[in-house]
Amino acid sequence: MSKREKNIEILEVEKIVDNNTITELTTKDQEVIGRILQDKKRYIAELKNGETFRVSSQAEAMEILLREYHLHR
């Protein structure tokens, strides 16, 4: 028997901290998946365990956060 696919709603919450815009990805239950910070022309994807990845686009940063969340769920 195969597992039934579940849809998980992910919310994108923007916050301003010290004049820097931070995007947090959270689930509907307010569980934080990770954060995306902008560093000049690049983006930093920060997992909830503190691990960071430097990428060239915000979409790539979101993809990393979602992939890591899915793997460890």
Note the pLDDT tens digit of each residue in 33-50: 999 999 889 999 999 899
Taking CB atoms within 8 Å and a gap of at least 24, the contacts of 4-13 are: 10/66
For residue 3, the model assigns a pLDDT of 73
For residue 58, the model assigns a pLDDT of 94
One-letter amino acid at 15 equals K
Q: What is the DSSP string of 21-46?
A: EEEEEEETT--EEEEEEEETTEEEEE
DSSP state of 7: -
> Is-contact 13 26, C-beta < 8 A?
yes
Burial state string for 17-30 with b = 16 or more CB within 10 A and e = fewer than 16 = eeeeebbbbbeeee
List, for the chain, all residue ranges whose pLDDT scores fall below the cut of 70. Answer: 1-2, 72-73
For residue 66, the model assigns a pLDDT of 92
For residue 72, the model assigns a pLDDT of 67
